Structure 1
């Protein structure tokens, strides 16, 4: 395969070529060579150009740092600075934002890539549903991969040779085979894939990338972000759903994550603890990006968000790219001849009937087995074959052993009024929601999810560096949170006062303050004229134009500077009128 080289105008950077590999959704690899200053957007565009993909805003590139923490590649930052590891780099092309309505995805190619992602989610336990729904998902996959049922080509027991689910019972296989044989004949691969997407997008766990956390009692919970909002799962229930319109703020400090919002007309604060600060930061970034993508009508409405308040050190983040509504609008205007979709089916890509004995390694199953985190997410599918993990080891509850009398309509009735979801606990299955440990945003070893927290006991203890206590989900909890912040502010002020009253340190403090004041005045003498040039002059130099076009400068200009200038002009006119009349 031809390697793409991203060249830079810098002579120095040309001599620093870095080999990279991007693993695609069908487990093939796309190699490329980048420079030290190549930004993430170039790699995203490279993959999309490889597919001839236009609806690319749903997708992203994921990588693993040396600490085995997953990240999404940021488009506007250098790839080398983000990876923080030694080349060659290995990254994975994955669905980052799941479309809320797959039927509005315009092109068959985009739907096929989304279908490949859903297959991964199903196999690794991210999706939880009742038995009848699982049977239809499996049957649609059989139709898409194998075509119409033919007795000569599909002998008895052919379904058992295909491992689509982490816990695949004979009852489920019988239902899958019956639906494939009797109900789906004549559906093309594209139609079967679309039907699967239409079915799966009604599930409560559709699009959930489960982040393992602990609540105040030490119980494991999974946090996710969907097109609907912020969700929390415990056991086999969805215990919280905060719609994006009801989420007022997402914050993190150390290992503590807080979601502020409104539920049943009451202000609530949901607080959870992660295993590491890096995991908490990743959780927060995923949350603010998802809220921006799904909530806003235009990307221009999105402002830079901060992870903390003004008194404490925090992280700032700004969403880049188009939001969901803009993507759908752009998709509706696509007029080109659809590109050819090159499907890699089970029968074409590998020995179909050997799947029960072996599985080509992929990102989710192999990360915990990697000899080095530098190899990122997976080994080459052509160089290593791993045995299929045992069901007892996976212990992932995708399907329910529901009674035989349960019908498809019973499961679908939960979703007839999708806009009427209840915030109450919703039972999803008879089995526990427990995704395969190797697919979690914070990778864990074979010991299981609890291993994440063994060295970080949370329970009822307060983690060092956390600035929030566990709060009850009612109005009192919000007041308690505000009181905690006020207490911390008072502590900071008290320490400052004690420092000022200390005779030994007073002189040193005065000198430091004087130096700081002089430096500040010097910077103001330089910055103030430059600011006036930016705001008031018509000079169209390239570096000034770039500064004026940044979102932060535009926000400052329109939201702060223009109102202030108008107020000053009004006051000046008022004073002049008074002086003239006297």
Structure 2
């Protein structure tokens, strides 16, 4: 008598689909790009996906930011799985495409047109939001370049009057006028808004027939002269003096700004032998020990983050390349930061 086998009915399903998730990335032009990734996808995969779809051929200038649970903006660690970082640290899965590494002399390193356009948009945001500081004359020049970069020779003298443009042109949140800080909210009542707008109209006439690409380059070069350009800032306390300071990290080095002094102290990467993080403490060790200093951040997470940002910025310099590859003393003490793209020696 033959055996009757009772086979259990099963339903097929795609196991892989359960590991996928969707990330929304805000672009520099205000648009949104949705990326479908796996749970193991790294931040770099997400960045490459977004840049490829936007036609950005130099993604090495960019990074991805998120808001942590304290509503502080933080950089994604591109070499690590993205979902784990966001689940652990972020307030949501919303990301923002932003410029992470700034060029400091001209625009020759930015060879891709779309990359340059997004770089221009980043600087425009930095200026308007007050991350860079300029005086009124610089604001006029930058607004003129911005107008030409975005609209070209579309300048109708009869239509583009002061009254028409004064609420369309974007000026920085803060400007310096005669040594005093001027808030954009007071421009209209003080009469400065009309003066600035008229000055932009006059200056823009001199840019007639300038290509939009050249205007973007002019805007970038003008921004490179401003205070705050390319810097990421953190509030800390000097461990010895017990004074509140601002630590500004960039590809050129670390600037320490004291509230009680008009003269900041600047540490160039070539003068730094070691950067150490221990809990809340961030220490800069210099070739001249007298110049070394330690600073206390609000939390251990802040201390680690400042160290990581310093490490990533230093690694785009030629000196850091030599040090990291064994040509000198080790520059960083905390862990092993990922080796970043180093073909752009800034």
When normalised by structure 2's length, the TM-score is 0.79
Q: If you compute each CA radius of gyration, which structure gives the higher value, 1 or 2? A: 1
- SS of the aligned residue for 1:317 comes to coil
1:101, distance to aligned residue in structure 2 (A): 2.7
Query: Contact between 1:230 and 1:242, CA under 8 Å: does it hold in 2?
Result: yes
Among residues 91, 106, 109, which one is paired with 2:95 in the alignment?
91
Alignment partner, residue 341 of structure 2: 322
Shift, 1:120, TM fit: 1.0
> 3-state SS of the aligned residue for 2:274?
strand
User: Does residue 206 of the first structure (1) align with residue 229 of the second (2)?
Assistant: yes
Paired residues of 1:69 and 1:278 also in contact (CA < 8 A): no
Q: 1:134 to 1:35 in 2, by over 3 A?
A: same
Query: Per-residue CA shift, 1:131-189, capped at 9, x if unaligned?
Result: 322221122112223333321231223442123310334144443332123x2111222
Q: Which residue of 1 aligns with 2:215?
A: 192
1:18 matches 2:42: no
TM-superposed deviation, 1:307: 6.2
CA distance in 2, matches of 1:297, 1:65: 29
Map 1:263-342 → 2, pairs under 5 A: 267-296=290-319, 298=321, 301-302=324-325, 315-323=334-342, 326-327=343-344
CA contact (8 A) 2:39 2:82 kept: yes
Retained in 2: the 8 A contact 1:55–1:327? no
Q: For 1:516-556, what per-residue CA distance to the aligned partner results, in whole angstroms no more than 9, with x for missing partners?
A: xxxxxxxxxxxxxxxxxxxxxxxxxxxxxxxxxxxxxxxxx
Question: What does residue 128 of structure 2 align with?
Answer: 123
Q: 2:171 matched to 1:164?
A: yes
Q: Which residue of 1 aligns with 2:56?
A: 53
Distance 1:294 1:39, change over 3 A: same
* Residues 172 and 231 of structure 1: CA distance in aligned 2, closer, same or farther (over 3 Å): farther
| TM-score, length-scaled by structure 1 | 0.49
Counterpart of 1:231 (choices 248, 255, 261) is 255
Whole-angstrom CA distance in 2 between matches of 1:57 and 1:155: 41
The offset of 1:200, in angstroms, is 1.2
Residue 146 in 1 paired to residue 151 in 2? yes
In 2, distance between residues paired with 1:159 and 1:234?
Answer: 39
**Secondary structure in 2 matching 1:49:** helix
Aligned partner of 2:112 among 89, 102, 107: 107
Q: Per-residue deviation at 1:328?
A: 6.4
- In structure 1, the residue matched to 2:11 is none
Partners of 1:215 and 1:130 in 2: CA distance: 30
Q: CA deviation at 1:116?
A: 0.5
- Taking the TM superposition and a 5 Å limit, the aligned residue runs for 1:548-567 are none
Match for 1:254 among 263, 274, 279? 279
The one-character-per-residue Cα deviations of 1:389-421 (angstroms, maximum 9, x if unpaired) are: xxxxxxxxxxxxxxxxxxxxxxxxxxxxxxxxx
- Partner SS, residue 222 of structure 1: strand
The CA RMSD measured in Å over matched residues stands at 2.8
Equivalent residues in 2 for 1:390-405 (5 A)? Answer: none
Equivalent pairs counted in the alignment come to 308
> Whose relative contact order is higher, 1 or 2, with alpha carbons under 8 Å and at least 6 apart?
1
Structure 1 distance, partners of 2:290, 2:59, is 37
- Seen in structure 2, the aligned counterparts of structure 1 residues 266 and 32 have a Cα distance that, compared at 3 Å, is closer
Q: Per the alignment, in what secondary structure is the counterpart of residue 223 of structure 1?
A: strand
Indicate if the aligned counterparts of 1:253 and 1:307 stay in contact, CA closer than 8 A. no
Query: Aligned equivalents of 1:195 and 1:247: distance in 2?
Result: 32
Mapped to 2, the partners of 1:267 and 1:218 lie a distance apart of 17
Aligned mates of 1:260, 1:87 — CA distance in 2: 35
Contact kept in structure 1, 2:308 and 2:337, CA below 8 Å: no
| Cα 1:156–1:71 shift into 2, 3 Å | closer
Whether the 8 Å contact between 1:223 and 1:231 is mirrored in structure 2 is yes
SS of the aligned residue for 2:85 comes to helix
Deviations 1:349-376 (A, max 9, x none): xxxxxxxxxxxxxxxxxxxxxxxxxxxx
Q: Judging changes above 3 Å, is the alpha-carbon distance between structure 1 residues 141 and 89 closer, same or farther for their aligned structure 2 residues?
A: same
CA displacement, residues 309-364 of structure 1 (integer Å, 9 cap, x when unaligned): xxxxxx313233311xx1369xxxxxxxxxxxxxxxxxxxxxxxxxxxxxxxxxxx
Instruction: Return closer, same or farther for 1:137/1:218 CA change in 2, 3 Å cut-off.
Output: farther
Q: For 1:60-109, what per-residue CA distance to the aligned partner results, in whole angstroms no more than 9, with x for missing partners? A: 11122334343322222111111125897211110000012342121221
Partners of 1:206 and 1:87 in 2: CA distance: 28
Distance in 2, matches of 1:281 and 1:228, equals: 20
CA contact (8 A) 1:60 1:94 kept: yes
SS at 1:106 equivalent? coil
Distance change in 2, residues 1:143/1:237 (3 Å): farther
1: CA distance between counterparts of 2:319 and 2:311? 12
**1:431-450 equivalences in 2 (<5 Å):** none
Q: Whole-Å Cα distance in 2 between the matches of residues 59 and 299 of structure 1?
A: 23
Return the offset for 1:297: 7.4
Gaps of 5+ in 2: 1-13, 174-182
Contact 1:260 1:267 in 2 (8 A): no
Q: Select which of 240, 246, 253 maps to 1:222.
A: 246
Residues 322 and 299 (structure 1), Cα distance of their counterparts in 2 relative to 1, 3 Å cut: farther
Shift of 1:198: 1.1
Residues 276 and 282, structure 2, Cα contact 8 Å, conserved in 1 = yes
| Structure 1 residues 73 and 294: alpha-carbon distance in aligned structure 2, compared to 1, 3 A threshold | same
